[in-house]
Structure 1
Amino acid sequence: MNNSNDNTKATYNQIDLKDRTAIEIGLCRKESIKEISVITRHDRSSIAREIKAGRTFLKGDYYCDNDCRDAEYCKKSHLCGDSSCHMYCATCSNDCHNYCSEYRSLKCPLPQKPPYVCNACHKRKYCQSDRYFYSAIKADQLSKKRRSEAHAGAKISDEDLKIVDKVVYDGIKKGQPLAHIISVHSDEIPVCKRTLYNYIDEKILRVRNIDLRRKASYKKRHKKHPNGIAKQSFRKGRTYVDFTAFMEDKSDSVVTEMDTVKGKKGSKACLFTMFLRRNSVMIIFIMEDGTQESILKCLDFLEVGLGLEVYKRLFGVLLTDNGAEFKDAEGIELTKEGIRRSRVYYCDPMASGQKGRLEKNHEYIRYVIPKGKTFTGYSSADITLLMNHINSTIRESLNNRSLYDVIPDDDKDMHKLMKLLNMEEIMPEDICLTPQLISPVPRLIRKAGRHHD
């Protein structure tokens, strides 16, 4: 019958302070490594390695730090062949043991054999040779230090680290997200994203935390009283509760989120954005102003360019916020002839997270056109280029693919939309999400003045 309490059964758990204390006591009692292994329930080889790794070294008291028996009286010189040296070899900093045939060491040979320490030696107080002592507390401190050092620094070769540093630095300079860089250069980056963040935190790479946009913390948002907007007539039958009820038996892929991105305060120009949940494609229009008429003009352009049936399939369900530019619900839902082309629903007041995927995508716009900058001066071609770079960026949420990779070849509706909006894929290496991508054309302002003949 097997005895579950058999103390001789070895286990392979990590040696802790309790085990080290038992080792120290066993060494002082002159117990063998085998006897200590039975007490601690660790393998004998593990105990031996622990003793040698955790022991403390005390240097012996030798004449001029030379452990030869005859060092104090030795008058030999020039053993190394250096005739310009005027010192005796026994006192020279060079190791004369490599040259002298009469070298006899004073070092005690016992620490080279089990138990590898002098804890139980009766001569330890008077011995002048090199000595080793095992202390449980010091051994535990050394073990923790070794583990800490083992996890510090980069775990790749210097050559690989230089490649990683260059790839990440070049990508960040172009405004590319870290996930995009890792996906595109997976063959050159042998570490995961979390490890890259650790390298940046430890300043192993040239990129610093200040270069990473996502390292900035969000400001705390203050809630406002929502009753004013919630009771307005345009929301009747179109609230988020109504949206949830309508979508109960439908796929989330039929929904398109809408929003606007404002420019500099006092500037009328803004962006109208749409996000198709079916494939995460974002559409961006530039508008001279953020009025209801400008929104309807963009939607009418899509309807006419795609045809009513294709428009219904792509933009049949719209979800937006409560901005003044979206209050003309009937104009959004109906064609000029009064035919229904879509259904529009409004998020709860101060609940932008209900269309959070579009809000998240707005970050990419701000990489290129920072908040507080005017949209005046940007052309439709500029915004189309920005849209193409954003949609070509590789996303973790799409299993490290770009939006163009997830659009099926047989999706005729999407390909018709892409052709209408001049949507083209940008090569991963050429992705740029910095202000250098596009620059606004400065407006010419004529100043009134006197005419000189």
Structure 2
Amino acid sequence: MSRPKPSGRSYGRLTRHERNTVERMLDRNRSAREIAAELGRSPSTVTREVAAHRYVTAPRSRYGEPAPADLSGACPRLSAWPRCCNGCSHRRGYGCSRRPRVFYSARRAQEAADAELSASRSGIDETEEGAAAKLAAIRDGLARGLSPQQIAATTPGLSASTVYRWVDAGYDGMTNMELRRKVGYRPRSRRAPKRATSHSARRSHASFLALGEDACAAAWEMDTVEGSRGDSARLLTLLHRPSRFQLALPLPDGTCASVLAALSSLRGVLGEDGARRAFGAVLTDNGSEFAD
């Protein structure tokens, strides 16, 4: 039983499932009307689909190319329905000396249709006069130093994103060098990943836990806080876990020597005994600034 033709179809493109059905029924030597009835489409849609998306398998030098429009002198199956070698008793060319050999594949047809749709969405969707007027407005605005937003605000039917896209595509010979802000953007810096710093066994987390529950609970957490990008200065922070009291010591940079100098100044204020009593255990990460 044939399926009724669906109503309210939003677009005429065949789906991948429908193309699979076309290929399967071609392999069974079904007519265009039978395939159309199965899909709920018109026979002309089926014949156009097969004719448009056939590809050559032989000769080998033309493998994968679309089938040529003029197939005079070729196998009669290629000039009239089914317009391809699908369903032929000599399928895949076994025992067949005719050239070219042409097949319909649902996968290849879907890829070709997707490429056609993508290409149709690119370029300028304007009349020649309208495109020329908008390109002239963009060219004039850029020459006067206007931003894409300002050009769009003074040109009806033109958006800032369209200005950026047309300039980036190089329409009318324009280049991104004419976009003053875009030229002024600094390239993003890519920092090299930090290498893991090796520490002695007595600096391991297992050694910290071995100090006992009371010592761990009363420990300080030490870390460095970076400032703005490109500024080497930072803060050395010491957080007391039980009281949430925090010290912040300025550092000129993130080197191990700077951390040692800051801790030495703190030891100079508290004294050696005071520093030992106050900072019984200090927990840090494996950053290179804490290697010593």
TM-score of the pair, normalised by structure 2: 0.48
Higher relative contact order (CA 8 A, sep 6+): 1
Q: Name the structure where helix makes up a greater proportion of residues.
A: 2
